[in-house]
A = this chain, B = another copy of it.
């Protein structure tokens, strides 16, 4: 479950590359990142449509980030390569939920969606692309979880 498609993994690798290199052609990125050229071309097309990349055609053209990596959330990236996060159909369209039972399952799935969304939106491309210094923080998630669990326990008693 929750296997992240290679498409999205490729997208992230390529974006990280672009953070460091500023601007590059699909061909060069595909080569150094070992990503199938034509596939990456298609992926970049999507990322551009989503407003994450800008492109210049022609000789010495190439792709570059459309805005600062600090302003690119990982949720933006995921939303660009795959669609919206929709764990179950009925989270959009409640009318499907004709099985009665007040649909607590639905609320469960909604909660999952919110949780994932929140996590993805809590990390920026800049954080992921940070130069490989031995002590870089970016520990948003472990703490996030500790807190969540603690909060849950509290609420329960």
Contact = CB atoms under 8 A, between A and B. Distances in A.
Interface string A109-134: 11111111011101100011110100
Contact of A1 (B85, B122, B127, B143): B85
Interface stretch (A36-44, A48-56, A58-66, A96-104): A96-104
A8 interface: yes
Nearest to A131: B102
A22 to B, nearest CB: 17
Given A9-B88, A87-B2, A127-B104, A148 B144 contact: yes
User: Chain A's interface: helix, strand, loop or mixed, by majority?
Assistant: helix
A16 B85 CA distance: 24
Interface of A: 1-5, 8-9, 12-13, 16, 33-34, 74, 78, 82-83, 85-88, 99-102, 104-105, 107-116, 118-120, 122-123, 127-130, 132, 136, 138, 140-145, 147-149, 151-152, 155
30 contacts: A1-B4, A2-B87, A2-B112, A2-B116, A3-B86, A4-B87, A4-B88, A13-B99, A13-B105, A16-B101, A16-B104, A100-B132, A102-B136, A104-B127, A104-B128, A104-B132, A104-B136, A105-B128, A111-B142, A112-B141, A114-B141, A114-B142, A115-B141, A115-B144, A115-B145, A118-B145, A118-B149, A144-B151, A144-B152, A148-B148
